[in-house]
Structure 1
Amino acid sequence: MPRTSKTETPVSVDEPMIEGRYAELGDYTVGFETHRADFDPAPLFSGLPGDRCQCPHWGVVRAGKIVFRYADHDEEYTAGDAYYGAPGHVPLLFAGTELIEFSPSGPLAATMAVVTRNVAAMKAGT
């Protein structure tokens, strides 16, 4: 059975606001994320349906908190919580938060293609 751990998964995202380690386990991506700064990534989802993440996520908050904002309500998860983030959310991230998150790789890749394009545009100043 496939498995991984944070220490075995190489760093693939190392930005001032996040360190992310991601590995493929079957048809799922497991992410080990450490959020270094408060961050509202809403602009990064521009171009997705409703300008919201359409990928479902299952996870555990190891430290800190995460908020999923939906069109009609917010859901807050704190250290020790297991969570499900349904499609149609925008996360709100906080410094000191550590997550382990599982996402279906196909929908995650489609979402990240848009996010990556938006990050590149922001860095280019457009």
Structure 2
Amino acid sequence: MTAAARDDVPVALGGEGVEVRNMPIGGGMSISYITLPQGTDMGPALKGLPDDACQCPHWGYLLKGRIRMRTATGEEEYEAGQAYYWGPGHVPLALADTELVEFSPDADFKQVIDHVVAQAG
């Protein structure tokens, strides 16, 4: 078994109030603790990925805030206290200061993080 407290998980991506802490947790999955300030639009950072969207599936729980998830089939909003599944092809927009914890296939999420870091570079 593996356990990972937020402060024990290394920062994989950060800047301008955005923080993504990520590490493998076992079984081919990773855990992420994510902080997004209100107004954070991940769209520009995801440009260049297929459909200009995150292609990694995520299972998680919103601890705080609200997110609008844009997909090819429309938009949905999620708020604190909700568990979720976001399939491939999504672009998040933080409608409020947001914190979440999520689980993702490790290799898929690493590709997304590497792309976002390269976009910022």
Q: TM-score, normalised by structure 2?
A: 0.89
The answer to which of 48-57 and 107-116 deviates more is 107-116
CA 102–42 in structure 1, closer or farther in 2 if over 3 Å, else same: same
| Secondary structure of the structure 2 residue equivalent to 1:87 | coil
- SS in structure 1 at match of 2:102: strand
Is 1:6 matched with 2:3? Answer: no
Q: Distance in 1 between matches of 2:51 and 2:20?
A: 25
Q: Partner of 2:54 in structure 1?
A: 53
Q: Secondary structure at 2:8's aligned position in 1?
A: coil
The corresponding residue for 2:44 is: 43
Instruction: Give the gaps of 5 or more residues in structure 2.
Output: none
Amino acid at match of 2:90: H
Q: Secondary structure at the match of 2:40?
A: coil
1:17 touches 1:37 (CA, 8 Å); kept in 2? no
Partner of 2:109: 108
What is the percentage of aligned positions where both structures have the same residue? Answer: 39
Matched-pair contact (CA < 8 Å) for 1:55–1:107: yes
Q: Report runs of 4+ in structure 1 exceeding 2 Å deviation.
A: 7-14
Structure 1, 101-110 or 77-86: larger mean CA deviation: 101-110
Aligned length: 120
The answer to whether structure 1 residue 69 and structure 2 residue 70 are counterparts is yes
**Structure 1 stretch 43-52 or stretch 56-65: which is displaced more?**
43-52
CA shift for structure 1 position 12: 4.1
2:21 is matched with: 21
> Within the alignment, does 1:91 sit opposite 2:92 as a pair?
yes
TM (norm. structure 1) is: 0.85
1:69-112 alpha-carbon deviations (Å, 9 max, x no partner): 00121121101000001001111124421100111111111122
- Superposed CA RMSD: 1.6
